[in-house]
Amino acid sequence: MHEILKLDNVTKYYGSGTVVTRALDGISFSVEQGEFTAIMGASGSGKSTLLNVIATIDRVSSGDIFVDGQKLSGMKEDALSAFRRDRLGFIFQEYNLLDTLTIGENIVLPLNLRRESAADTRKELSRVARALGVEDQLTKFPYELSGGQRQRAACARAIITGPALVLADEPTGALDSQNSKILMQTFSMMNRSLNSTILMVTHDPVVGSYADRVLFLKDGKIWSEVLKGDRDRQEMYREILSVTAALGGESDVI
């Protein structure tokens, strides 16, 4: 199976002199194509830092990160900008849709930024809108939609370029339980039907139970791992709760 993401002994320090914080401490793992991986852990465990260095928003202090075989360290800013645009998809807690653009215009924004033809743009918009069930919302503006509809539109925008990796940062954080469930069903569809490779940070064990694998961080290190395998979601959920309790007993583990 093709390896999409690989971290090799990644370390990240903040500060200098005698005041240094080790946010990531020698983290190594990989994600295969079509895999859905969740990252969980207590506050301060390094989850946000991990997502930031993979997203190329921040640089590692040591170690290497590879996305789809491409080594990120040493890349210049213009190359990193193009890499983020073309090879990574982003889904945020607050949607990050532009209020002055229609939903359709928001979704195709990444294609417009790389100057795709109008014909190709229309074709890709039709494909992802149909797949994610937002065809009827394309001419509306973000403020006219529910939170769940806006987040599905954000998902469409994230995958329209065919990225190697989709990074999701607390995607259900602004949603109620019903819309969270619908969104995670959308994630599962993206993963299984569209073969999207997803790395998601979440605080919610229910949300984490949709993933194929959950990595738990503690003090900047991978502390534990839960694999779904042949288990159903309820069994996965119970195992996540068990690990969360052993990790420190926090019910809110972001």
DSSP string, 144-186: GS-HHHHHHHHHHHHHTT--SEEEEESTTTTS-HHHHHHHHHH
Q: Is the pLDDT of residue 234 over 90?
A: yes
Domain presence at residue 48: yes
Best mean pLDDT range from 74-78, 206-210, 250-254: 206-210
The pLDDT confidence band at residue 251, using thresholds 50, 70 and 90, is very low
pLDDT in tens, 18-64: 788 899 999 999 999 999 999 999 888 999 999 999 999 999 999 99
Q: Is the pLDDT of residue 199 over 80?
A: yes
In a domain, 148, yes or no: yes
Q: Check pLDDT > 80 for residue 224.
A: yes
pLDDT tens-digit profile of 135-151? 999 999 999 999 999 99
Residue 191 lies in a domain: yes
* CB neighbour list of residue 65: distance below 8 Å, 6 or more residues apart: 5, 6, 7, 8, 10, 53, 54, 71, 72, 73
Question: What pLDDT band is residue 248 in, cutting at 50, 70 and 90?
Answer: confident
- Report the number of distinct structural domains present in the chain: 1
> Could you report the per-residue pLDDT of 81-137, keeping only the tens digit for each?
889 988 999 998 888 899 999 999 999 999 999 899 999 999 999 999 999 989 999
Q: Tell me if 22 is assigned to some domain.
A: no
Residue 95: phi, psi to the nearest 5? 70, -45
CB 91 within 8 A of CB 171: yes
Write the pLDDT tens digit of every residue in 60-79: 999 999 999 999 988 888 89
The pLDDT, as a whole number, for residue 43 is: 83
Is position 70 within any domain? Answer: no
Between 16 and 117, whose confidence is greater?
117
How confident is the prediction for the chain on average, in pLDDT?
92
> Has residue 165 been placed in a domain?
yes
Q: Residue 254: is its pLDDT beyond 50?
A: no
For residue 218, the domain's CATH number is 3.40.50.300
Token representation of residue 208: 């984490």
Note whether residue 179 is domain-resident.
yes
Query: Is the residue at 5 inside a domain?
Result: no
Residue ranges making up the domain that contains 92: 34-59+75-247
pLDDT computed for residue 249 by the predictor: 55
Is a pLDDT exceeding 60 seen at residue 252? no
